[in-house]
Structure 1
Amino acid sequence: MNRVRKVLGPLVVLLGANLWLSKGANSKNTVRYYVNSPVCKMPYVNPFTWDTMSDFHRKKMRECRNDSDLVTSQFDFNTHQYRLHIHEHLARPLLKTKGHATLECEYSNISRNPSAKYPDDYYIQSKMHRITNHEVVPNNTDYIITKCYVRSSNHTRKIVQSDSMSFIQDPLTNKKVRDFERKQRTDPHPSVLIMGLDSTSRINLRRAMPLVYEYVKRPGWFEMQGYNKIGDNTFPNLMAVLTGHSEAGVEDLCDVREKGCLDSLPFIWKRFKEANYTTAFAEDCKSISTFNYLKPGFVKKPTDYYLRPLLLASEEQFPVSKDWGYAYCVGRHLSFRYVWDFGQQLVDRFLGRSPFFGFLWSNSFTHDYYEGATALDKLFRRYLKSFQDIGLFKRSIVILMSDHGHRYNTLRRAASGYFEERMPMMFIYVPPWFRRKYPQFVANLKKNRNRLTSNYDVHMTLHHLLQLPSKSMADFPAKYRAKQCPGCQSLFFEVPFNRTCAMAGIEEKWCCCQPSETITSPLVEPIVYAIVERMNHHLVERKFDTLCHNYTLKQIVKVDRKSILATGLKPVDKDEYVYIVQFKTRPNLPEFEATVRWNNRTNSLLGMDVDDISRLNSYNKDANCMNDKTAKKYCICKDSIRESKDSQENSG
Structure 2
Amino acid sequence: DKVYDYVNEDFIWSYFSKAGYRTGAIFDDYHVTAFHYQKKGWDKPPVDYYHRVVVLAKNNDKLMKATSSNCFGDMPEITFNHDFWIQMASTFNISQSKPYFGFSFSQHLTHDNHNKASAGDHLYHGFLQELRDKNIINNTVIIFFSDHGQRYGPTRSTYNGMVEYNTPYVFLVFPPWFHRKYPHLIKVLKINQERFTTNRDIYETLRDLVNFQATTKLGDINKRGISLFQEIPRERMCEHVKISVEYCLCNQLTTTNISSSMTLVLALTVQYKLKSLISTVRDKCSVLNFKTVMSVMEVQSETARVNQTTVNSTRYQITLMTTPGDAVYEASVEYFHTTKKSDVVGDIVRLNLYRGQAECVEQPKLRNYCFCN
Q: TM-score, normalised by structure 2?
A: 0.91
Structure 2 residue identity aligned to 1:292: H
CA drift of 1:275 comes to 1.2
Structure 1 residue identity aligned to 2:271: V
Of 70, 78, 81, the residue aligned with 1:336 is: 78
Matched, 1:280 2:42: no
Structure 2 residue identity aligned to 1:403: D
Other-structure match for 2:362 = 627
Give secondary structure in 1 for the equivalent of 2:306: coil
Matched, 1:535 2:274: yes
CA drift of 1:446 comes to 0.7
- Relative to 1, partners in 2 of residues 1:265 and 1:550: Cα closer, same or farther, differing over 3 Å? farther
CA drift of 1:607 comes to 5.5
Residue correspondence of structure 1 range 459-608 to structure 2 within 5 A: 459-469=203-213, 471=215, 486-522=223-259, 523-540=262-279, 543-565=280-302, 567-573=305-311, 575-606=312-343, 608=345
Asked if 1 retains the 8 angstrom alpha-carbon contact of 2:185 and 2:216, the reply is no
Structure 1 unpaired stretches of 5+: 1-256, 476-480, 639-652
Give secondary structure in 1 for the equivalent of 2:364: coil
CA drift of 1:264 comes to 4.0
CA drift of 1:434 comes to 1.8
Question: For the pair shown, which has the larger CA radius of gyration, 1 or 2?
Answer: 1
Matched, 1:294 2:38: yes
CA drift of 1:490 comes to 0.5
> RCO (CA 8 Å, sep 6+): is it higher in 1 or 2?
1
Give secondary structure in 2 for the equivalent of 1:441: helix
CA drift of 1:262 comes to 5.3
Give secondary structure in 2 for the equivalent of 1:416: helix
- Cα distance in structure 1, aligned partners of 2:236 and 2:148: 21
- Relative to 1, partners in 2 of residues 1:497 and 1:290: Cα closer, same or farther, differing over 3 Å? same
Give secondary structure in 1 for the equivalent of 2:91: helix
Q: Identity over aligned residues, as a percent?
A: 28
- Superimposed CA distance per residue, residues 360-411 of structure 1 (whole angstroms, 9 cap, x where no aligned partner): 1111101111111122222222222222222233222110110000001022
- Cα distance in structure 1, aligned partners of 2:232 and 2:67: 43
- Relative to 1, partners in 2 of residues 1:494 and 1:322: Cα closer, same or farther, differing over 3 Å? farther
Other-structure match for 1:618 = 353
Asked if 1 retains the 8 angstrom alpha-carbon contact of 2:330 and 2:348, the reply is yes
Asked if 1 retains the 8 angstrom alpha-carbon contact of 2:291 and 2:321, the reply is yes
- Cα distance in structure 1, aligned partners of 2:292 and 2:53: 47
Other-structure match for 1:198 = none
Asked if 1 retains the 8 angstrom alpha-carbon contact of 2:216 and 2:229, the reply is no
Asked if 2 retains the 8 angstrom alpha-carbon contact of 1:411 and 1:420, the reply is no
- Cα distance in structure 2, aligned partners of 1:321 and 1:631: 33
- Relative to 1, partners in 2 of residues 1:534 and 1:322: Cα closer, same or farther, differing over 3 Å? farther
Other-structure match for 1:380 = 124
Residues paired across the two proteins, number: 366
- Relative to 1, partners in 2 of residues 1:262 and 1:314: Cα closer, same or farther, differing over 3 Å? farther
- Cα distance in structure 1, aligned partners of 2:130 and 2:163: 32
Other-structure match for 2:168 = 424
Asked if 2 retains the 8 angstrom alpha-carbon contact of 1:454 and 1:506, the reply is no
Give secondary structure in 2 for the equivalent of 1:502: helix
Q: TM-score, normalised by structure 1?
A: 0.53
CA drift of 1:538 comes to 2.5
- Relative to 1, partners in 2 of residues 1:267 and 1:410: Cα closer, same or farther, differing over 3 Å? same
- Cα distance in structure 1, aligned partners of 2:308 and 2:360: 42
Asked if 2 retains the 8 angstrom alpha-carbon contact of 1:263 and 1:298, the reply is no
- Cα distance in structure 1, aligned partners of 2:22 and 2:168: 28
Give secondary structure in 2 for the equivalent of 1:351: helix
- Cα distance in structure 1, aligned partners of 2:115 and 2:59: 24
- Cα distance in structure 1, aligned partners of 2:2 and 2:142: 33
Other-structure match for 2:90 = 348
- Cα distance in structure 2, aligned partners of 1:402 and 1:356: 22
CA drift of 1:265 comes to 4.5
CA drift of 1:501 comes to 1.0
- Relative to 1, partners in 2 of residues 1:606 and 1:472: Cα closer, same or farther, differing over 3 Å? farther
CA drift of 1:316 comes to 2.2
CA drift of 1:444 comes to 0.8
Structure 1 residue identity aligned to 2:20: N
- Superimposed CA distance per residue, residues 49-89 of structure 1 (whole angstroms, 9 cap, x where no aligned partner): xxxxxxxxxxxxxxxxxxxxxxxxxxxxxxxxxxxxxxxxx
- Relative to 1, partners in 2 of residues 1:524 and 1:398: Cα closer, same or farther, differing over 3 Å? same
Give secondary structure in 2 for the equivalent of 1:471: coil
Give secondary structure in 2 for the equivalent of 1:613: strand
- Superimposed CA distance per residue, residues 293-314 of structure 1 (whole angstroms, 9 cap, x where no aligned partner): 1111111111111111101112
Structure 2 unpaired stretches of 5+: none
- Cα distance in structure 2, aligned partners of 1:529 and 1:431: 55
CA drift of 1:453 comes to 0.8
- Relative to 1, partners in 2 of residues 1:511 and 1:262: Cα closer, same or farther, differing over 3 Å? farther
Structure 2 residue identity aligned to 1:449: Q
Q: What stretches of structure 1 move > 6 A for 4+ residues in a row?
A: none
> What is the RMSD of the two structures over their aligned residues, measured on CA atoms?
2.3
Of 450, 453, 456, the residue aligned with 2:194 is: 450
Give secondary structure in 1 for the equivalent of 2:155: helix
